[in-house]
Amino acid sequence: MGTSNDRSKVDATFPLRLRAARLKAGLSLEDLACKLGGIVSRQAIAKYEKGLAAPSPEVLEHLLQVLEIPAPPEELTSLSCFIDNFRAQNVSYKRKSNAARQDLNLKKTGADNQLAEDKKLEWLEPTRVYFCLNKQDFQPANIQKDKEKESFIFRCGLKLNSKQLTALRVQIAEKMEKYLRLESLLKAELKFKVGLSNSSLANPDQTEQAARELRQLWDLGTGPVVNILTFLEDRGIKIFRLAGPEGFESCSGFYLDSPFIAVNDNLPVDRLRFKTSTELAQVLFGFSEDPAQSKLYNRWAAAFLMPARKLEEYFLPAGRKIALSELAEIKLRYGISLQAIMYRAYDLGLITERRLRAFRELLNQKGWLTKEPVAYRGEEFPQRFKRLIHYAISSEILDLKTAASLAETTPEDLCQEIGDIF
């Protein structure tokens, strides 16, 4: 355990950043002590996180390496400096007064000052680190407090253990904070607004109606939703593809009134699209784990991805036999699995339960239940955050090193990704 003299080597936010990094890694105090090779006890780590003690230089080096905690910044004087050095991200900010800004005595060139004036940049300073694990844990200094409103609403349908859920929540909170701060810097805030006539789904008829209505509002017609991740991003939903813990497929929620959807990066593309759509239903019609409601959300997701009118064109006359090649054509066009297509046809009365059961038995016999014989070839990647990063660099609002830190990549890789700027 370190002495009081060692405290000068650890910045004031280190205890909180240490805890955030441990939770994000899904480690208990005992787990972290084991990963450190037993050089300190779990009780000592607990004291570090509470700010009651500081680690020795040797222990500090091991902690930074094991948990990949960035070295503490020497000074935090500007937005770009702050973002560049603070990668834990669960931070709220407060605006400085004009007098306080002058006290910073920033050493900027005339060109930089003109740029700041042109872009109306406002210098910010960090106030405190917050860990968005429960609604009472998040009380941002620059946002009006509302005791009746949760700042972080999180829903994950699969049963993950407490460590996995905590790690997932911290990871998403970091990404949301980063995304919202970048939007704020670029004056590019995008609010999610949908004026559906019904705010809930109570029966199958409402699912069909709501899916048609949303397609009409978003000018989708009866065509496929191409790259649904970017499509939803451009309408105000923050989208993330995550590795996630074992067993994780998707989750959704609201962070400071901004909706988000996260999906497992390793899912087959057609399943990724379907899970994204079911999470969209959760965002639109209210979070629920009730099996009956989840079934309605699944039906809505299928109706949103595959309009009834178009499916009827493929399956009519009702009750006829269907070739695998016909299902493959639908999947390749609309990005929905063969199984989801058949279940949708059954819901619409286009096939009988017997034919659906026979189809499932065929897939089981051929080992196609988990890996279908036809793969959807479309690409699904969220693009808006990357687009904002590229804009910030090309417009000289952020330097390459700062932007790379935000994008969780290296300056070299980001430079290669952007290409020439002219």
| pLDDT for residue 12 | 62
Q: Give CA 42 to chain center in angstroms.
A: 31
**Residue 243 contacts residue 264 (beta carbons within 8 Å):** yes
| pLDDT for residue 13 | 66
Give tens-digit pLDDT for 24-40: 778 888 889 898 888 98
Reported confidence tier of residue 150, pLDDT bands at 50, 70, 90: low
Residue given tokens 């009746």 in the structure block: 148
Q: Give CA 230 to chain center in angstroms.
A: 12
Burial per residue of 279-313, b for 16 or more beta-carbon CB atoms within 10 angstroms, e otherwise = bbbbbbbebbeeeebeebbbbbbbbbbbbbeebee
- Residue 107: CB partners within 8 Å, gap ≥ 6? none
CA pair distance 238, 408, nearest whole angstrom: 17
Of 219, 220, 215, 224, nearest to 332 by C-alpha is: 224
| pLDDT for residue 262 | 96
In this model, does residue 206 exceed pLDDT 90? yes
Q: What is the mean pLDDT of residues 167-187?
A: 90
What are the φ and ψ backbone dihedral angles of 214, each rounded to 5 degrees? -65, -40
The pTM of the full predicted model, rounded to 2 decimals, is 0.73
In this model, does residue 90 exceed pLDDT 50? no
DSSP character at residue 187: T
| pLDDT for residue 408 | 85
Reported confidence tier of residue 68, pLDDT bands at 50, 70, 90: confident
Structure tokens belonging to residue 349:
């009365």
Q: What is the mean pLDDT of residues 371-385?
A: 93
- Residue 191: CB partners within 8 Å, gap ≥ 6? 236
SS3 category, 377: coil
| pLDDT for residue 5 | 45
CA pair distance 177, 143, nearest whole angstrom: 13
CA pair distance 403, 389, nearest whole angstrom: 6
Give tens-digit pLDDT for 53-67: 888 888 888 888 888
Instruction: Name the helix (H) or strand (E) containing 117.
Output: helix 110-119
Domains and CATH numbers, the chain: 4-67 (1.10.260.40), 73-150 (no CATH), 384-418 (no CATH)
* 352, 357, 359, 360: CA torsion to nearest 10: 150
Reported confidence tier of residue 265, pLDDT bands at 50, 70, 90: very high
In this model, does residue 303 exceed pLDDT 90? yes
| pLDDT for residue 154 | 86
Distances (CA, A) of 222 to 52, 215, 262: 61, 8, 26
